[in-house]
């Protein structure tokens, strides 16, 4: 097969959704119907192929993104199943960074839930075209039209249903395809593997015609030929609809919507057809853009094996002590035994093995080329977000955005002899998971681990015990605070000392100004090169960074602060990088002390779904936790309450809400923003 033809038949897609929407069940059905697995795995039984980790099977949730390859209609589909829990949102972020398209799965009962919004906006950030699958149409309370409406309201999307359900809840029997105007029925006795189309039920013909009319009118707005036929009431062929809708999907102007019930084995094959028909191949997306690491010139790489190599490491996984680096190859070829350049680390490394992955199973390959998602072994220095390229044609791709941890916990090994093993094990975990950090507290000697939430840290502690055989005592979770300033202030400092008979002199003046919340830190040098040698600039910047890493109130990192270096002096005969670094750090601390420093804490966006009779008690409890109720939406038999609450007040909330609602209320929580600590 020619390179262009092969690339045209590839689909690099991910499945994204809120927790419990049914992503993994959809993945399992895709693997079964494409012949990739011979037996259907079930999440509730702990037998899902894509949830292969012990903890995923025990907890019934996806923790780490899993990659596999399957085939449908002569197309090669590289499929990534991502977690739905907010604590593992980095897995979604780094997957979407390298994917060309996505299937967004929504629960027909829950609709667009908080994490649905998060993953949708993550996909929008990387301009990833999407199709939507409304799952669980067989559940009590399923409402296809309500989900469509919520997609418009909450996501700002343009959903275009290409199917409507036949029946709902326990009467859900199949779907009507609005493009071909045929009803699709699945055979229960073949576990949905056999399906066929029939004439539309007479009582549903009028509803189907109305829905098709809406579909045609929506796409006609963007296609003159279809508009002409539509106005003249001429028949419009299915291939014309597919062609126009595909173009709208690729341009992010529309989202085709399908429906079904993955658990009941209905709706998956048309979903696979939609992947092939509407989601992009590597040739349909713009060339990947980066810059030359030396000249900073803009560089482009088109999806072709004939172009120079450009690949991005999006995931690191430790497999029994060996490091697997998952990469997306945008252009060029990787071959076993060849040397590639890690431009992010400025190191050359030899490719020892290349694998095609099926969850945790590996299949060796001699080469991989543009459009492939593979795992490679032997990349010692690689981390998430690194760029691999041809040393003769270097390109640095945009790295993956990493989130800062919001929760911390002190840990110590059961025995002192395990201290080194614990540090080594934590280093390996941190290499895999960029949202996990750890450090040793210089005052107490304790090891402090930090992560995205209680579940995140709990999973990591279990991994330490099971995979690395290190048992630890863990303290209570603590909030990761930040510090900032409230007004502008200047600071100056002089470092003038003899160290080992050598004089070190440096003087720095800085101006600190507060930035709006969530903007982060920015450092600039307003010192002309004739005042101080340019070689000293990086050392001054490093001193500023040192000071910002530890505030003046309780030593938490500073944020939302602009630092301008407005003056500097050094010994012109013997400039000292040590003196400049220390002076810069002292100057920032000096300015901080008079810039009204303040402590910030993380606030969480909390969504609670509860029967109406418990609403008053839950609101009262949130008020006691210094929470602020943002909205209350009525959905049939339940009320959906959205609030902003300090994270420090939310520990153990799962137990509280169970007792307040007799176990009938549920809640989800995700990071919202940092704000000033309330007393």
Residue with tokens 């003899």: 498
What's the confidence (pLDDT) of residue 419? 85
In tens, the pLDDT along 324-346 reads 899 999 999 999 998 899 999 99
pLDDT given for residue 253 in this prediction: 95
Contacts with 203 (C-beta within 8 Å, 6 or more apart), sequence order: none
Mean pLDDT (whole number) for 461-485: 89
**Predicted confidence (pLDDT) at residue 43 exceeds the cutoff of 60:** no
Which residue has tokens 């390109």?
Answer: 395
Q: Which of 206-210, 430-434, 436-440, 454-458 has the highest mean pLDDT?
A: 206-210
Type and span of the H or E element at 242: helix 238-250
The number of helices, as runs of H, and strands, as runs of E, in the chain is: 16, 38
Q: How confident is the model at residue 531 (pLDDT cuts 50, 70, 90)?
A: confident
Mean pLDDT of 397-409: 84
- Lowest mean pLDDT: which of 28-32, 114-118, 434-438, 471-475? 114-118
Cα 174 from Cα 153, distance rounded (Å): 27
DSSP line for 558-581: B-SEEEEEEEEEE-SSS--HHHHH
pLDDT at 287: 94
52 pLDDT more than 70: no
What pLDDT is attached to residue 42? 59
Band of residue 579 on the pLDDT scale cut at 50, 70, 90: very high
Sheet of 75-81: strand order equals 66-72, 75-81, 10-17, 101-107, 130-135, 255-259, 159-161
**Whether 63 contacts 90, CB under 8 Å:** no
- Which stretch, 37-46, 106-115, 634-643, has highest mean pLDDT? 106-115
Task: Please spell the DSSP secondary structure of 40-71, one letter per residue.
Answer: ---TTTT--SS--SHHHHHHTS--S-EEEEEE
Q: Is the pLDDT assigned to residue 46 strictly greater than 60?
A: no
Give the pLDDT score at 530. 80
Is residue 227 classed exposed, middle or buried when 0-12, 13-18 and 19+ CB atoms within 10 A define those classes?
A: middle
Token pair recorded at residue 312? 């991005």
Over 90: is that where the pLDDT of 374 sits? yes
- Tell me, what's the pLDDT at 5? 85
Separation of first and last alpha carbons in the chain: 67
| Cβ-contact 69, 326 below 8 angstroms | no
466 DSSP assignment: H
- In this prediction, residues 186-200 reach a mean pLDDT of 92
The pLDDT, as a whole number, for residue 548 is: 94
Tokens of residue 106, six digits: 């929504």
What is residue 1's predicted lDDT score, i.e. its pLDDT? 53
- Label residue 62 by pLDDT band (50, 70, 90): low
Residue 51 has pLDDT above 50, yes or no: no
Give the chain's mean pLDDT.
Answer: 89
Q: Which residues pair with 104 in a beta bridge?
A: 16, 132
Strands (E), 336-372: 339-342, 347-350, 353-358, 361-365, 367-369
Cα 52–chain centre separation:
20
Comparing 514 with 678, the larger pLDDT belongs to: 514
Write down how long the chain is.
679
Tell me the sheet residues that pair with 102: 14, 130
Query: For residue 636, what pLDDT is reported?
Result: 66
The helix (H) or strand (E) run that includes residue 16 is strand 10-17
Average pLDDT over residues 395-404: 86
Task: Please state, in angstroms and rounded to a whole number, the distance separating the CA atoms of residues 266 and 142.
Answer: 15
Give the three-state DSSP class for 270: helix
Distances 143 to 130, 196, 389 between C-alpha atoms, Å: 21, 25, 48
Q: How many CA atoms lie within 13 A of 152 on its CB side?
A: 8
pLDDT in tens, 71-94: 999 999 999 888 766 667 788 888
Question: Using CA atoms, how far apart are residues 318 and 463, in angstroms rounded to an integer?
Answer: 12
Q: Which of 43-47, 275-279, 492-496 has the lowest mean pLDDT?
A: 43-47
Contacts of 102 (CB under 8 A, 6+ apart): 13, 14, 15, 16, 96, 123, 128, 129, 130, 131, 279
The predicted-structure confidence for 215-236, as pLDDT tens digits, reads as follows: 999 999 999 999 999 888 888 9
Highest mean pLDDT among 375-379, 507-511, 666-670, 673-677: 507-511
Residue 85 pLDDT? 65
- Sequence-ordered strand ranges (E) for 402-520: 407-413, 437-440, 447-451, 472-474, 478-479, 482-485, 489-499, 502-514
Is residue 281 within 8 Å of residue 10, measured between CB atoms?
Answer: yes
* Dist CA 551 CA 559 (whole Å): 9
Farthest-apart Cα atoms in the chain, separation: 98
Closest to 79 in 3D by CA, of 301, 268, 238: 268
Angstrom distance (rounded) from CA 337 to CA 350: 6
Cα separation values, 463 from 325, 425, 458, 470, 607, Å: 19, 10, 9, 9, 29
Rounded Cα distance between 298 and 302, Å, is: 14
CA–CA separation, 663 and 108 (whole Å): 22
pLDDT of residue 12: 96
Q: Answer whether 103's CB lies under 8 Å from 14's CB.
A: yes
pLDDT category at 623 given cuts 50, 70, 90 is very high
Residues 470-492 have a mean pLDDT of 91
User: For 348-361, what is each residue's pLDDT tens digit?
Assistant: 988 889 999 887 78
Mean predicted confidence (pLDDT) in 488-513: 92
What's the average model confidence in pLDDT over 447-467?
Answer: 87
At 358, list the tokens: 């099926």
CA-CA-CA-CA torsion sign (241, 246, 251, 257) = positive
CA 212 – CA 226 distance, rounded (Å) = 13
Q: Which residue has the higher pLDDT, 576 or 1?
A: 576
Which of 39-43, 273-277, 455-459, 552-556 has the highest mean predicted lDDT (pLDDT)?
273-277
For residues 395 and 389, is the Cβ–Cβ distance under 8 A?
A: yes
What percentage of the chain has pLDDT greater than the value 90? Answer: 56
Average pLDDT over residues 462-484: 88
Q: 4: phi > 0 → left, psi -120 to 50 → alpha, else beta; which?
A: alpha
Q: Give me the mean pLDDT over the 107-128 stretch.
A: 87
- DSSP-assigned states of every residue in 104-157: EEEETTTBS-HHHHHHHHHHHHTT--EEEEEE-TTSTT--HHHHHHHHHHHH--
pLDDT digits (tens, 9 = 90+) for 141-174: 999 999 999 999 989 999 999 999 999 899 999 9
């Amino acid at each position: 097969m020619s390179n262009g033809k092969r690339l045209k038949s590839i689909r690099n897609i991910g499945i994204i959704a809120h927790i419990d929407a049914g992503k993994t069940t959809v993945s399992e059905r895709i693997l079964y119907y494409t012949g990739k697995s011979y037996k259907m795995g079930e999440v509730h039984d702990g037998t899902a192929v894509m949830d292969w980790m012990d903890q995923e099977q025990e907890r019934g949730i996806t923790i780490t993104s899993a990659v596999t390859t399957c085939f449908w209609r002569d197309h090669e589909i590289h499929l990534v199943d991502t977690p739905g829990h907010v604590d593992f949102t980095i897995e979604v972020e780094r997957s979407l960074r390298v994917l060309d398209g996505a299937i967004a799965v929504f629960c027909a009962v829950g609709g667009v839930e908080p994490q649905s919004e998060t993953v949708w906006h993550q996909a929008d950030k990387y301009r990833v075209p999407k199709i939507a699958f409304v799952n669980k149409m067989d559940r009590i309370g399923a409402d296809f039209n309500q989900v469509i409406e919520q997609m418009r309201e909450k996501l700002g999307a343009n959903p275009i249903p290409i199917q409507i359900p036949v029946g709902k809840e326990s009467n859900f029997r199949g779907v009507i395809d609005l493009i071909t105007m045929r009803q699709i029925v699945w055979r229960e006795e073949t576990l949905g593997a056999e399906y066929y189309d029939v004439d539309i039920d007479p009582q549903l013909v009028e509803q189907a015609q109305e829905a098709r009319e809406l579909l045609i009118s929506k796409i006609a707005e963007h296609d003159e030929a279809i508009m002409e036929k539509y106005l003249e009431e001429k028949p419009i062929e299915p291939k014309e609809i597919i062609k126009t809708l595909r173009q709208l999907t690729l341009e992010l102007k529309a989202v085709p919507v399908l429906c079904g019930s993955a658990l009941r084995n209905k709706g998956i094959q048309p979903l696979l057809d939609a992947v092939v028909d509407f989601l992009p191949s590597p040739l349909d997306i713009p060339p990947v853009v980066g810059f030359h690491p030396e000249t900073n010139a803009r560089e482009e790489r088109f999806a072709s094996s004939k172009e120079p190599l450009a690949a991005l490491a999006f995931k690191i996984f430790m497999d029994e002590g060996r490091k697997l680096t998952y990469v997306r190859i945008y252009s060029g070829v990787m071959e076993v035994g060849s040397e590639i350049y890690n431009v992010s680390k400025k190191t050359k490394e030899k490719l020892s093995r290349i694998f095609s992955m099926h969850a945790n199973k590996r299949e060796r390959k001699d080469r991989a080329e543009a459009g492939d998602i593979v795992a490679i072994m032997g990349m010692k220095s690689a981390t998430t977000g690194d760029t691999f390229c041809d040393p003769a044609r270097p390109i640095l791709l945009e790295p993956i955005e990493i989130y800062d941890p919001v929760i911390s916990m002190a840990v110590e090994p059961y025995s002192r002899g395990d201290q080194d093993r614990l540090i080594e094990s934590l280093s390996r975990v941190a290499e895999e998971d960029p949202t996990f950090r750890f450090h040793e507290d210089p005052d107490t000697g304790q090891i402090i681990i930090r992560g995205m939430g209680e579940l995140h840290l709990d999973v990591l502690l279990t991994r330490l015990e099971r995979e690395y055989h290190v048992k630890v005592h863990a303290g209570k979770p603590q909030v990761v605070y930040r510090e900032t300033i409230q007004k502008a202030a200047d600071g100056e400092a002089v470092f003038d000392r003899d160290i080992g008979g050598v004089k070190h002199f440096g003087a720095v003046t800085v101006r600190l100004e507060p930035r709006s919340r969530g903007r982060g830190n920015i450092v600039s040098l307003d010192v002309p090169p004739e005042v101080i040698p340019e070689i000293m600039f990086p050392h001054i910047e490093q001193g500023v960074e040192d000071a910002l890493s530890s505030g003046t109130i309780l030593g938490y990192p500073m944020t939302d602060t602009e630092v301008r270096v407005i003056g500097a002096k050094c010994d012109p005969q013997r400039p000292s990088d040590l003196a400049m670094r220390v002076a810069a750090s002292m100057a920032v601390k000096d300015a901080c002390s008079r810039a009204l420093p303040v402590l910030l804490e993380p606030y969480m966006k909390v969504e609670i779904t509860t029967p109406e009779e418990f609403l008053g008690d839950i609101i009262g409890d949130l008020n006691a936790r210094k929470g602020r109720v943002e909205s209350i939406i009525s959905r049939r038999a339940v009320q959906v309450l959205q609030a902003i609450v300090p994270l420090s007040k939310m520990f153990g909330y799962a137990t509280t809400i169970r007792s307040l609602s007799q176990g009938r209320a549920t809640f989800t929580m995700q990071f919202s923003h940092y704000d000033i600590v309330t007393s």
